Amino acid sequence: METTPPNLPNPEAPDSTGRDDLQSALPSPSAIPTKSGGIGLWLRDLLVSAAASVLIITFLYQPVRVEGTSMLPRLEDRDRLFINKFVYHIAGIERGDVVVFHYPRDPEKSYIKRVIALPGDRLRIDRGMVWLNGKPQSESYVPDEYRDTRSFEETVVPEGYYFMMGDHRSISSDSREFGPVERSLIYGKAVFVYWPARDAGVVH
């Protein structure tokens, strides 16, 4: 980026008085910031930052706390994470997303699970193996020690609904029990664990 230099006096050209005029290079008293003015600017910046933070948390991100162990090994009990509340207004929900939703049987409670099947998908579970549209699914996010041998008869996920399951399959209460989750109940996507530090990172 180009900048235009200020009009500075030529050091090789003395003024008409025959002396260098240094006073013209000094700021006028009115241009020197006062202590009270500096505090005012600091308070203004603080208020702007606080307002921006409130807007971001209100409309984009929300901190939540995990309660339970159904999403082990990625999410542990009492992990703190940010969920994105805006992303599903501009993008669709995808298989594998970890989402937060109101529990269908009690909307006052919130659950966090992984999206396994989308509207229109044909799903069945055969002794722990998930089949979608006739194909077995390789679920790398479910360690062998967290798998179970439960089966679920074949079903087609209704339009506007999503089939959810926890990663810790042997203890998770999910769509195998309470059924697919309606789209209107899903209000955020888990994006980042911020506490404790050992668990910090992006949620996959």
Please give the positions annotated as active site: 70, 113
Q: Which of 61, 196, 185 is nearest to 112 (CA)?
A: 185
| Helix, strand, coil percentages, rounded to 5, for the chain | 25, 30, 45
Dist CA 96 CA 42 (whole Å)? 44
Query: Is 201:193 a contact under the CB 8 Å cutoff?
Result: yes
Beta strands in 61-157 (DSSP E): 61-65, 80-84, 98-103, 106-117, 122-126, 129-132, 135-136, 152-156
Burial of 157 (0-12, 13-18, 19+ CB in 10 A): buried
Q: ω before 63 within 30° of 0 (cis)?
A: no
Residue 169 makes CB contacts below 8 A (sequence gap 6+) with 128, 142, 146, 147, 148, 150
